[in-house]
Chains A and B, each alone.
Chain A
Amino acid sequence: MGEALQFFDEMDGFDGTVRAPYAAYSNWLQEMSRPALLKKSAEAQAFFRRTGITFNVYGEAEADERLIPFDLIPRIIGAGEWANLVRGIEQRVKAINAFLHDIYHRQEIIRAGRVPERLIRENAAFLPKMIGMDPPGGIYTHIVGVDLVRTGPNEFYVLEDNARTPSGVSYMLENRETMLKMFPELFSHIKVQPVQQYPTMLRRSLERCGPPAAGGKRPTVAVLTPGIHNSAYFEHAFLADQMGVELVEGHDLRVVDGRIAMRTTRGYEPVDVIYRRIDDDFLDPVNFRSDSLLGVAGIFDIYRAGGITIANAPGTGIADDKAIYSYMPEIVEFYTGQKPILQNVPTWRCAEKDALAYVLDHLEELVVKEVHGSGGYGMLVGPAASKAELKAFRTKLMAKPENYIAQPTLALSTVPVLTKAGLAPRHVDLRPFVLVSPDGVEVTPGGLTRVAMKKGSLVVNSSQGGGTKDTWVLKED
C-alpha cells in the first residue's frame, strides 16, 4: 500500500473550516434537527417512488426497478469555480468535435504523429462508414456528459468524456424539483443558478441541426428508445415529455420515400432529427448488427443522404474510448492550440509492455478499467480489493492486457450525506451536461452529482449502489 490518501471535503475543506460556497447553507443546516432532516429524506424517497423515477437493473429479474438513493444535502459549487470548469469543458468539447471531424476526414492528427494510427484503425468504436460523411450542422456530439472528479480546492480531473449517449440528466432535473419542493426557503435566500431550462435548450440544439431534407421548416424531433425494459427508460420518456416530442421505438420507424417516418394514427410522418438512446451497433440492422431489433433498417443510408440527423452522430464513441482518453491532452492541444484547462488522469495503457509491467507491480494501488466498459462493471479498485480479487484480476489482465487501462487511485473529494447517525462524508463525482450546436457550446450550471453511499467507497455508479445529490452552482460568490 502507498501512503494513506488525504481527502478534500467540499464543505469542510482539508482542515474542517466551512468553505465559502457552503457558508450560508451550513448556517441553515445547523438550525435543522436531525429528525426533521430524516423526515424530509423519507418524504423525498416516497416522492421518487410515487412518480416512478426508477431505473432498471440488468440481471435482477424480480425487483427490476430500483430507486437511485437521493441524498438531500446539496453539493455546492461557487460561481468562480464553475466559470473555470465551463472554460475547460468548452475547450475539451470543441476539441472532441474537431477530432471526430478530422478522424473521419483527413486524419491530420495521425499524419502529425500525435495519435497512433493503429489505435483508430483497430478500434471497435471507429466507424469506417462515417468516413467522408458531414453530419448536419457539422456537429458530432450534440450532447456530452463530462465526468469530473475533484481532489482539492483547485484540482479537477476529467475522468471520462461521455460522448455517445450520456445519461443522468433526468436526475439533475428531478433532484432540483425535489429540493425546491422540500426546501423552498433555502432557494429564496441562497441564489442558485437554474437548471430547468435544459429540455428547452436540448430541443433548440437538436432543431438547429436539422438535415437538408427538412428544408426550411421547423424540424420534427423524436427520442429513440430501446423500450421500457432499458435501464434508462424513465429518462427517455422524461426527456421526450419535457421537450414535447414523440418517444419512438425502432419498430415505430421505417423508410418511406427516402425519409425516416414514424407510424402514427394518421399514417407515416417524416422525422427530421432523432435523439437516439441506443448504441451505434443497434442503430441499423442493415448497416450494422443484423440481429438488432431496436434499430431501423436503412436509417444509416438515409442519414448519409441527408434525410435525417442522428444525435449523437454514429461513430462518436471513438472520442470517449478509454484508450483514446489517454491522448486527450494532445488532442486538445492539437485542435485548439492551447494547453488543456482541465487535467487528464495519468493513464497507463496496458497494451504497452512497460505500462503493463508497472500496473502488475502496483495493482493494489491502482484503479484498472476495461477499455470499452462502462457503468463501473468489470473494474478493479486496487486499494479496496481483497487478495483473492487482486489475484483473479491479475489473471484476467495478463490474458488480455490490451483490454485494460490503469489509473492512480484518486483521492476523490467528499461531500456530507445524511445518515441515520448524522452527517458523514462520502465520495462524489460530477457530470455536467453539455449541449453543442452550430450556435456554440452550452453547459447547464449544475449537473449530476453521484455519491458513493457506502463509507470509504470510491465507486459512485448507480449500478453499484451509488446515489445522487442536487448540484448547486451559486449565482455569485
Chain B
Amino acid sequence: MLGRTAAGLFWLARYLERAENTSRLAEAGFRMALTRADSDTEEWQSVITTAGCRESYLQKHETIRSDKILDFVLRDKENPNSVLCVLHAARENARMTRTALTREVWEAINDAWMSVRDALRRPVAERELPEVLSLVRRQGAQVRGAVTGTMLRNDIYNFMQVGTLVERADNTARILDTKYYVLLPSSSSIGSSLDNVQWEMILRSASAERSFYWLNGGTASPMAIADFLLFDARLPRSLAFCYDMITEYMSRMEAEYGASTSAHEMAIRQENRLTALNIARVFEEGLHEFLSGFMAQNAAFSAQIEADYRFNE
C-alpha cells in the first residue's frame, strides 16, 4: 500500500471519529443547558475547551453564548474542527483513498457528507438540534457498519481502526481533563446536585452514562467515573479499551508485514502502563498530570505510526 494511502485511511478514520465526538459533546452541552435552572456559561466553555477550539472561538466571538458555540462547533467553516469541516476532510481523504475502500464504505462516507452538509446548510434552530446531532452519529454508525461488514481484514482495515482508536483515546482524555477539577476529592460540594450534573455531562460526553449507572447500581462517585473511563476495558471509549485494541491491530500489522515497528513497542508500553496503574494511584499522583502525560504519549504514538509506515516523504 502507498504510504499516502495509509495516511489517508488513518486520517479518514480520525476525522470520522472526531465528527461524532464533537456532536456528542454538543449534545451533552445542550442537555445540560436544558436541565439546569440557572444558565451557566461554564458548561458551554467546557464544550469548546474539550473540542479543542476555545482559542479560535474567542478570537471570533467575544461572549460565550450557546447558539454561537453550537454554530461554531457544528458548522463554522473557519473552525477546522467543526463537524462540517471535519466531515469534509474525511470525505476528501476518502476520495484520495478511493481505491482502498469498498464501494459500500465509499458510498456511506459520501452519503454521510452529503446529508450532514445539507442539514448544516443553515444555522440549526434549537428544535432541530437533536435531530441534526443524531443524524451525525447515525451516519457515523453507518460508515462503521459498512467498514465492519465489507472490508478485508488487512493493513487497510488496521490503519483505519488504529486511527479511530487514537482519536477516541485522545477525546476521552480531553473530556476528563477539561473537567478534572470536578472529579477531585477536594472538590467542596461532593454529592451536591451541581456535581451530579457535572458528572453526568462527563459520562454523556463519552456515551457512557447508561452503562455506568447499570454497572454501579445507580450511584456515582468521582473516582468510580474516572476509573470507568480510564481503566474499564469493557467500555469502548475507555483508554484501556483503546490501547487494548490498538496493540491488537498493531500485532496484526506485525504479522502481515513480518516486521515490528517502534510504534508497536510504544503501544505495548502504553497498554502495560494502563494495566499496571489503578485509579487510586492516579488520584494520588494527580489526575490532570496523568491525563496531560497520556495525551502527549498518544500524540507521540500517532506520529510514530506516520514515520514507521512512511505516511509522508
Q: Is the CB of A237 within 8 A of B4?
A: no
Are A264 and B107 neighbours in the complex by a CB distance under 8 Å? no
The distance from the CB of B179 to the nearest CB of chain A, in whole angstroms, is 38
Interface status of A228 (Cβ within 8 A of chain B):
yes
State which residues 244-288 of A face B: CB under 8 Å.
Answer: 246-249, 251-252, 262-267
CB proximity of A224 to chain B, nearest CB, Å: 12
In the complex, B180 has a CB within 8 A of chain A: no
Once the chains bind, are A247 and B99 in contact (CB under 8 Å)? Answer: yes
What 1/0 flags go to B1-23 for Cβ under 8 Å of A?
A: 11111100000000000000000
Establish whether residues B313 and A251, one from each chain, have CB atoms under 8 Å apart when the complex forms.
yes
Q: Which of B91-110 contact A (CB under 8 A)?
A: 92, 95-96, 98-99, 103, 106-107, 110
Query: Taking each of B95, B155, B313, which has the highest tally of chain A beta carbons within 10 Å of its own beta carbon?
Result: B95
Q: Which residues of A contact B310 (CB under 8 A)?
A: 263-265, 267
A240 in the interface, Cβ–Cβ < 8 Å? Answer: yes
Contact present for B2 and A263 (CB under 8 Å): yes
Partner of B257, one of A49, A50, A251, A266: A266
Q: Which of B2, B114, B155 contacts A262 (CB 8 A)?
A: B2
- Complex: A240 Cα to B155 Cα, angstroms: 19
* Known pairs A50-B111, A51-B107, A266-B257; A240 contacts B3 (CB<8 A): no
Contact present for B107 and A50 (CB under 8 Å):
yes
Please name all residues of chain A whose beta carbon is closer than 8 Å to the beta carbon of B313 when the two chains form the complex.
251, 263
Tell me which residues across on chain A come within 8 A of B110, comparing CB atoms: 50-52
- Expressed in whole angstroms, the minimum distance between the Cβ of B75 and any Cβ of chain A is 15
The answer to whether A228 and B99 touch across the interface, beta carbons within 8 angstroms, is: no
In the docked arrangement, what's the CA distance between A246 and B3, Å? 11
Interface size on B, residues (CB 8 A): 22
Are A228 and B95 touching (Cβ within 8 A)? yes
| Contacting residues, chain B, for A266 (C-beta < 8 A) | 257
- Distance in angstroms from A246 CB to nearest chain B CB is 6
> Which residue in B4, B107, B257 is a CB contact (below 8 Å) of A249?
B4
User: 0/1 per residue, A234-245, Cβ < 8 Å to B?
Assistant: 000100110000
Known: A264-B310, A267-B310. A248 touches B2 (CB 8 A): yes
Query: Does chain A have a CB within 8 A of B231?
Result: no
Q: Is B309 an interface residue, CB under 8 A from the partner?
A: yes
**Majority-rule SS of A interface residues:** mixed
Given A252-B2, A264-B310, decide whether A228 and B114 contact each other with a Cβ distance below 8 A.
no
| Central interface residue in A52, A246, A263, A267, by most chain B CB within 10 Å | A52
Assess the B95–A265 pair: CB atoms within 8 A.
Answer: no
- Are A237 and B99 touching (Cβ within 8 A)? yes
**A147 CB to nearest B CB, Å:** 28
In the bound complex, CA of A240 to CA of B103 (Å): 14
CA distance A249 to B3 in the complex (A): 11
With A and B bound together, what is the CA distance between A264 and B111 in angstroms? 30
A265-B103 contact, Cβ under 8 Å, with A50-B110, A228-B96: no
Q: Which of B3, B92, B99, B106 contacts A265 (CB 8 A)?
A: B3
Which interface residue of B4, B106, B111 has the most chain A CB atoms within 10 A? B4
Question: A residues within 8 A CB of B6?
Answer: 265
Pick the residue among B95, B99, B309 that contacts A240 (CB under 8 A).
Answer: B99
The answer to whether A51 and B3 touch across the interface, beta carbons within 8 angstroms, is no
Shortest Cβ distance from residue B99 to the other chain A in the assembled complex, whole angstroms: 4
Mask for A359-387, Cβ within 8 A of B = 1, else 0? 00000000000000000000000000000
Q: Which residue of A lies closest to B259 (CB)?
A: A266
Complex contacts, B103 vs chain A, CB 8 Å: 51
Neighbour of B95 across the interface among A51, A52, A267, CB < 8 A: A52
Which chain B residues border A237 with CB–CB below 8 Å?
Answer: 95, 98-99
Cα A262 to Cα B6 with chains together (Å): 13
Q: How large is the interface on A (under 10, 10 to 19, 20 to 34, 35 or more residues)?
A: 20 to 34
Overall SS of chain B's interface: helix
Q: Given known contacts A51-B103, A233-B95, A252-B2, is B309 in contact with A265 (CB within 8 Å)?
A: yes
Residue in A closest to B99 when the chains form the complex, CB atoms: A241
Task: For the complex, give the distance between the alpha carbons of A297 and B132 in Å.
Answer: 48
Residues of A within 8 A of B4 (CB): 249, 251-252, 263
- Cβ of B1 and Cβ of A265 under 8 Å apart? yes
> In the docked arrangement, what's the CA distance between A228 and B95, Å?
7
Contact with A along B100-128 (1 / 0, CB 8 A): 00010011001100100000000000000
| In the bound complex, CA of A265 to CA of B10 (Å) | 12
- Please report the C-alpha to C-alpha distance between residue A233 and residue B99 in the assembled complex, in whole angstroms: 12
Residue with the greatest number of chain A CB neighbours at <10 A, chosen from B2, B92, B96, B155: B2
> How far, in whole Å, are A71 and B107 apart by their CA atoms in the complex?
22
**CB within 8 A of B92: which of A228, A248, A251, A252?**
A228
**Which residues of chain A have C-beta atoms less than 8 A from B98's C-beta?**
237, 241, 247
Q: How close is B216's CB to chain A, nearest CB, in angstroms?
A: 43
The answer to whether A49 and B114 have CB atoms under 8 Å apart is yes
Q: Give complex CA distance A252, B310 in Å.
A: 10
Question: In residues 280-310 of chain A, which contact B (Cβ within 8 Å)?
Answer: none
Task: Report the minimal beta-carbon distance from A295 to chain B, rounded to whole angstroms.
Answer: 15
State the Cβ distance, A433 to closest chain B Cβ, in Å. Answer: 20
Whether A264 lies near B114 (C-beta < 8 A) is no
Q: Could you tell me if B2 and A246 are in contact, using CB atoms closer than 8 angstroms?
A: yes
Contacts of A262 in B (CB 8 A): 2
B98, B103, B257: which has the most chain A beta carbons within 10 Å?
A: B98
B111, closest chain A residue (CB)? A50
CA distance A251 to B7 in the complex (A): 13
- How many angstroms from the CA of A162 to the CA of B1 in the assembled complex? 32
**B64-106 residues at the A interface, CB under 8 angstroms:** 92, 95-96, 98-99, 103, 106
> A49-B114, A51-B107 known; A264 and B3 CB under 8 Å?
yes
- Asked if residues A52 and B3 are in contact (CB atoms below 8 Å), the reply is no
Residue of A nearest to B98 (CB): A237
- Could you tell me which residues of chain B, from 252 to 296, have a CB within 8 Å of some CB in chain A? 257
| Complex CA–CA separation, A240 to B97 (angstroms) | 11
Nearest CB in chain B: distance from A261 CB, A: 11
A265 CA to B5 CA in the complex, in Å?
Answer: 9
- The interface residues of chain B lying within 8 Å CB-to-CB of A52 are 95, 106-107, 110
Interchain CA distance A51-B92 in the complex, whole Å: 14
Q: Which residues of A contact B155 (CB under 8 A)?
A: 265
Q: CA of A403 to CA of B67 in the docked complex: distance in angstroms?
A: 58
Task: List, in ascending order, chain A residues with CB within 8 A of B2's CB.
Answer: 246, 248, 252, 262-265
Beta-carbon contacts under 8 Å, A131-152 to B: none
Further 9 A-B residue pairs, CB within 8 A, beyond A247-B98, A263-B3:
A50-B107, A51-B103, A52-B95, A52-B106, A237-B99, A248-B2, A252-B4, A263-B2, A264-B3
26 A-B pairs with C-beta separation under 8 A: A49-B114, A51-B103, A51-B106, A51-B110, A52-B107, A52-B110, A228-B92, A228-B95, A237-B95, A241-B99, A246-B99, A247-B98, A249-B4, A251-B4, A251-B313, A252-B3, A252-B4, A262-B2, A263-B2, A264-B2, A264-B3, A265-B3, A265-B155, A265-B309, A265-B310, A267-B310
Interface residues of A (CB under 8 A from B): 49-52, 227-228, 233, 237, 240-241, 246-249, 251-252, 262-267
Closest 3 pairs (CB-CB, A-B): A237-B98, A265-B309, A241-B99
